[in-house]
Amino acid sequence: MADKRFREIKGILSDLDDTLYNFSGIQEQALAETALLAASCLDVKKEEFLDAYQKGREEIKNKMTGKTAALHSRLLYCQRALELLGTNGLSCALELEQCYWDCVIRDMKAKSGVADFFRAAREKGIRTGICSDMTAAIQHRKLRRLELIPYLDALVTSEETGVEKPAPEMFNRCLEKMGVRAEQCLYIGDDVDKDVKGAIGVGLLPVLIQDEAEPAVIQKEGFLVTGSFKALERFIKNGTE
Question: What are the catalytic residues?
Answer: 15, 17
Q: What is the 3-state secondary structure (H, E, C) of the chain?
A: CCCHHHCCCCEEEECCECCCECCHHHHHHHHHHHHHHHHHHCCCCHHHHHHHHHHHHHHHHHHCCCCCHHHHCHHHHHHHHHHHCCCCCCCCHHHHHHHHHHHHHHHCCECCCHHHHHHHHHHCCCEEEEEECCCHHHHHHHHHHCCCHHHCCEEEEHHHHCCCCCCHHHHHHHHHHHCCCHHHEEEEECCHHHHHHHHHHCCCEEEEECCCCCCCCEECCCCEEECCHHHHHHHHHHCCC
Task: Write the Ramachandran bin of 170: left for phi over 0, alpha for psi from -120 to 50, otherwise beta.
Answer: alpha
Closest CA to 152 of 125, 122, 182: 122
Beta pairing, strands 205-209 & 11-14: unpaired
Write down how long the chain is.
Answer: 241
